[in-house]
Amino acid sequence: MITAILHASFLTSDLPRSRAFYEGVLGLQPDPSRPAMSFNGVWYNVAPNQQIHLLLLPDPEAGLQRPAHGGRDRHVALAVSDFTELLDRLNRAGVAYTLSSSGRRALFCRDPDGNALELI
């Protein structure tokens, strides 16, 4: 039986640009325990035993038209400790987002490679 989601992986075409978003805007810290692999990347600890993995690999869906609202696309939902601070960080960084239409304090944005994130 499934008991948890351990990580979500996202492809990136520009690792420094993606790191600026995940570290500079979202405030995540790289996990130094990522082993050497056949491709570059970075792992972020989100919570105990939960990670985001960025993979510097070609995107087989490059050029695919994604829905304007990330909630209508594949996405991962992440909990945040301070929604107001998140809004401030996104606004300062010029990151576009849409608020959830459900009425929850949630928003959808995309990372620099177009991967959709829901932040609650």
3-state secondary structure the chain: CCCCCCEEEEEECCHHHHHHHHHHHCCCCECCCCCCCCCCEEEEEEECCEEEEEEECCCCCCCCCCCCCHHHCCEEEECCCCHHHHHHHHHHHCCCEEECCCCCCCEEEECCCCCEEEEC
Residue 92 one-letter amino acid:
R
Instruction: Report the half-sphere exposure of 83 (CA within 13 A, side-chain side).
Output: 11
Q: What is the pLDDT of residues 30-68, one digit of tens each?
A: 999 999 999 999 999 999 999 999 999 999 888 889 998
What range does the domain containing 82 cover?
A: 7-58+67-119
Q: What is the pLDDT of residues 3-37, one digit of tens each?
A: 989 999 999 999 999 999 999 999 999 999 999 99
- Tell me what pLDDT residue 63 has: 86
Q: What is the pLDDT of residues 84-116, one digit of tens each?
A: 999 999 999 999 999 998 889 999 999 999 999
CATH number at residue 50: 3.10.180.10
Residue 2 lies in a domain: no
Residue 43 CA to chain centroid, in angstroms?
11
Q: What total of structural domains would you count in the chain? A: 1
- Tell me what pLDDT residue 62 has: 83
Residue 46 lies in a domain: yes
Residue 1 lies in a domain: no
- What's the token pair of residue 114? 């177009």
- Tell me what pLDDT residue 76 has: 95
